[in-house]
Structure 1
Amino acid sequence: MSDIKEPIQKRAIEKKLKLIESAKKVFNDKGYHNTNIKDITGEAGISTGLFYKYFKDKSDIYIEVGKSIIKKEIKMVLDFKNRIIEEDSKKHVIRSYIENRLEIITYKSILEEFHILTKENEAIEDFANEAKKDYLNTIKDMLFRIWGHETESKIHIGAMIIWRTISSNIIEIDNINDLELKNEYIDNLTNLIYKYIELDQLSN
């Protein structure tokens, strides 16, 4: 029987979160297969024995790292939806969202490995599918509120276009070293999403 329990005391919670954040950095730098437990505990400044109080093994903490990144992205898109509905400056909201997504793409190597792991682990696959559903439903709800009475299929397609367009271009933006060019790319992507959100419903 495992002795692992979810920490409830503040200090224990903080130590577990520190291990997750440290693992995030190490996994991103070295990759899953080249990382060992001592790499993670060394980065965190926490004993290996304490590690096993919170996690079963390397794969266990890797799953938690992947979940923490995806949960942050879901929270981000919820904030994006609420702000774009409530605020007048939609362009500003869209640009802020793109910039925030760039912070997450820093961990793209983890996300790539995490999605590979979905093919091997049913629990991860279920989590990833639920996360994708939550993401798309949030964008759909935003479009229903902005576009009014559109068909379910158009709303679904619209959500997919926004998600795929931002996600694919974020990777390209992240690879640009020239700051001026990067800002110009973000401006153009912002304008593209803004025009689609604001004007697409007028094309009928």
Structure 2
Amino acid sequence: MEKDKKIQERTIVNRKKILDSAQQLFNTKGYYNTNTKEIAKLAGVSTGSFYNYFPDKLSIFQEIMIIFLNRSYLDLCELAKKLDQQPQIAKATILRFVQNGMDHAYEDVVMFQDFDSIVMANPELNDIQGEFYDKILNEIYTFCNESPYVKQRTENPLVMSRMAYFLVQGTSAFVAKLPDDTDKSEYQEQLVEIVYWYLFGS
């Protein structure tokens, strides 16, 4: 029993080391320029041991992607909850959400530059992304449909939810591609003004 517990603990630790090392390399060299041997070396495991945890490089990317998407979904759920509980500080709450999202995007910007081409070559990743997209849209839909504070700009809450999502995602993608030396704070503040007006403004 004790031996099995130690093996399980070592498995968890080594998997995390491999995921962290892969993410670090994907964000410095890019996904396509990184190989499993490099990941194993940085993680401190042998190349042979590497394959006990992951069958290939793509499976690592998939797990990192799921972690990223799940974090985005949970952040959005938390945002909707706070907007309902504290509507008086909605602008500040939306700003923090946007800033956190941007920070996560900048951390993974190199890795996710390869994202579209990886998904095109591996449709199963597109299916996973689609499942999270549906969950996120459903959360926004519920918020737009049920919150007493949201300005109903259309009789169709689905349109409201998609527009709110596209406003944040589309503008965030634009800002994320700005040069590194650009002061992005004003862009973030403008995005918050737009989203706030769309959801709550008169």
Corresponding residue for 2:3?
Answer: none
Q: Taking structure 1 as reference, are residues 151 and 183 closer, same or farther at Cα in structure 2, changes over 3 Å only?
A: closer
Q: CA deviation digits over 1:38-83, x for unaligned, max 9?
A: 2212332333232111100112212112222112211211111111
Q: TM-score, normalised by structure 2?
A: 0.82
Q: CA deviation at 1:94?
A: 0.3
- Residue 171 of structure 1 aligns with an amino acid whose one-letter code is A
Aligned to 1:118: 119
The answer for the alignment partner of 2:145 in structure 1 is: 144
Give the letter for the 2:118 counterpart: L
Between Structure 1 and Structure 2, how many residues are aligned? 193
TM-score for both structures, normalised by structure 1: 0.82
Whether the aligned pair in 1 keeps the contact of 2:23 and 2:64 (CA below 8 Å) is yes
Q: Which amino acid aligns with 2:198?
A: Y
Deviation at 1:198, TM superposition (A): 0.5
Provide closer, same or farther for how the CA distance between residues 86 and 59 of structure 1 changes in structure 2, counting only shifts above 3 A. Answer: same
AA aligned opposite 2:120: K
Distance 1:41 1:165, change over 3 A: same
Answer with 164-173 or 93-102: which moved more: 164-173
Deviations 1:146-177 (A, max 9, x none): 25796996312222222122122223333254
2:93 aligns with 93
1:138–1:111 distance in 2 versus 1, CA, 3 Å: farther
Q: In the TM superposition, what are the counterparts of 1:13-24 in structure 2 within 5 Å?
A: 13-24=12-23
RMSD: 2.6
The sequence identity of aligned pairs, in percent, is 24
Q: How does 1:8-157 map to 2 (within 5 A)?
A: 9-87=8-86, 88-106=88-106, 107-146=108-147, 154-157=156-159
Pair 1:119–1:177, CA change in 2 (3 A)? closer
Q: Which runs of 4+ in 1 moved over 6 A?
A: none
SS at match of 1:9: helix
For 1:155 and 1:129, how far apart are their aligned partners in 2?
Answer: 20
Are the equivalent residues in 1 in contact too, given 2:140–2:161 (CA < 8 A)?
A: yes
- Distance of 1:59 and 1:13 partners within structure 2: 19
Task: Go from structure 1 to structure 2 and tell me whether the alpha carbon gap of 1:152 and 1:172 turns closer, same or farther (over 3 Å shift).
Answer: closer
What is the Cα deviation at residue 101 of structure 1? 0.7
Q: Which amino acid aligns with 2:109?
A: K
Structure 1 residues without counterparts, runs of 5 or longer = 1-6
**Are residues 10 and 93 of structure 1, via their aligned partners in 2, closer, same or farther at CA, if it must alter by over 3 Å?**
farther
Query: Shift of the alpha carbon at 1:182?
Result: 2.0
